[in-house]
Every structure is written in C-alpha cells, then in structure tokens.
Amino acid sequence: MPLPEAPRRTVGPAAHSPSLEPLLVSISDGQRLLGISRGTINNLMAEGVIRSSKIGYRHMLRYEDIKRIALEGTNHRFPRDGLDRLNQQTAARRRRHQQTQPEAPR
C-alpha cells in the first residue's frame, strides 16, 4: 500500500520543492495520514512510538515516525493496567456489597 502524500502546508525552501518531505506534521495531519484517532496518537506518543516536538503551543509529530508506522505497522500493545485495576476495584466492590446484604429467605 503506497504511503499517502504528506500535507503541502510548508514554509520556506520546502514549499517550492516537491521532492522534500516535511520534518514535522500536525497531530490532525498525523491522524489523517494513519487513519487513527487522536486518542491512539496520544497513546503512541506517551509510549514513545511516535516522537513529538512542541513548537509554541502546538505539538508536532515527526513525519519519519508517521511514515515508518504507515509502511511497517506497529505491534505495539497498550498496557491493560487501567482496565485490570478497574476490574479489581469492581470485583472488590461486589464482594463488599455481597457481605453487607442480608441473606434472602428461601
């Protein structure tokens, strides 16, 4: 599958040369290029799979990382700690609830 073209919103010499790839793309452009959600982009950034740079108030993604993921994919799995912790809390809450309930007559 060919990689989609990089966005053409560049300034300086790269704006006049179609052969140069951008160094950075916005998060929304990264989402569009990879076809994934903002949350997935944030998770990949947090895990270090996609590196980002902050310029002013904007986070920009490295185009080389976007291109690598598009061409090679990623086998990255996000940790389930949050979900496991939630399941443990729910199970503990249910046990406490069962202990406080009087037994129903049979």
> What are the pLDDT digits (tens) for 61-84?
999 999 998 888 876 665 555 555
Residue 80 lies in a domain: yes
Domain-located, residue 7: no
2 lies in some domain: no
Is the predicted pLDDT of residue 59 greater than 60, yes or no? yes
Higher-confidence residue: 18 or 95? Answer: 95
Give domain status of residue 50, yes or no: yes
In a domain, residue 90? The reply is: yes
Residue 88 lies in a domain: yes
In angstroms, what CA-CA distances link 103 with 9, 16, 90, 95? 69, 79, 21, 14
Give me the number of domains the chain comprises: 1
With CA atoms as reference, report the closest residue to 54 among 21, 27, 14: 27
Report pLDDT for 66: 92
Per the structure, the complete domain to which residue 83 belongs is given by 12-95
Question: Is residue 82 included in any domain, yes or no?
Answer: yes
